[in-house]
Homo-oligomer: A and B are copies of this chain.
Amino acid sequence: MRGVVRDKEATKAKLLDAAMDEFAQYGIAGARVDRIAAKAGCNKAMIYAYFGSKEGLFDELLKIQIDRMIQQVPITPDDLPGYAGRLFDSYRDQPQLLRLAAYHRLENGFEAVPAAEAEAYRHKVEAIGRAQMEGKISAEFNANDLLDMVVHMSILAFTTPNATRALVERSVSRLIAE
């Protein structure tokens, strides 16, 4: 075929791409739909045709990005320091995702956790619980708290600009030491 001029999926992809930059930089309230449309080289009305609203665009974008991150960094319950380290690297390589998530939590409340994220979290807690029962890692902390802290350490990439992967890994090692 010749160069496709009209392609719904391509247009949605361009909009999502532009939305990533805009929302990560300005947040939901600060983002401007006109800027997103301009950056995507599309008409503003396409946002409303394909995503319903500014918030609809944000929600779909966040869901896609979270799914990607979940698939990209699988948990390794018997190597939590390594898991934290890989999460840290992913976050540092794609700082926009954490900014997106931070804005989402700030503006929508901390209970508004996307379903995909909540479910993935549950599976990870179970995996850690099994590893504890098998005696592979310390049982001083319960599985839920442990995952909270491992994830929390990995977002040093977001909080502390000069943090390193090695620092995160050593910290988690100490947390789970017998």
**Residues of A with Cβ closer than 8 Å to B?**
26-30, 99, 102-103, 106-107, 110-111, 140-141, 145, 148-149, 152-153, 155-156, 159-161, 163, 167, 170-171, 174-175, 177
Contact = CB atoms under 8 A, between A and B. Distances in A.
B160 A141 contact: no
Contacts of A156: 148-149, 152
17 contacts: A26-B29, A26-B107, A27-B27, A27-B106, A28-B30, A29-B30, A30-B107, A102-B102, A145-B163, A145-B167, A149-B171, A152-B152, A152-B153, A152-B156, A155-B159, A171-B175, A174-B177
A107 B167 contact: no
A90 B111 CA distance: 21
